[in-house]
Structure 1
């Protein structure tokens, strides 16, 4: 009986995780579509974003070391 309860709990958790994942994927695809609509491409915007975040991280590290 306890094993069945554990199985049901695990199944419920995986269902919730799957729903959250699909919601995140939906948001991501909407964002990508709007980026393509506005800028013609999606990748260029993404690489710019990555570079800026790396710069920010480096400056934070430098400040901590000083």
Structure 2
């Protein structure tokens, strides 16, 4: 397990060679909208999963 030490040191503790950009700004609007819609639909399907479960029951119920 000691062979992981150089990797961990280089990943977390070694100073960066390139100076980071100070102003990375906000994400593009399209990305924010896509993530917001995905998160909202995920929460809605979690709380209101009745129609999805009914559809699954109909599909599986028809199989032998």
> TM-score, normalised to structure 2's length?
0.33
**Structure of higher RCO (CA pairs closer than 8 Å, 6+ residues apart):** 1
**Structure number with larger C-alpha Rg:** 2
TM-score, normalising length: structure 1: 0.33
Structure ranking higher in helix proportion: 1
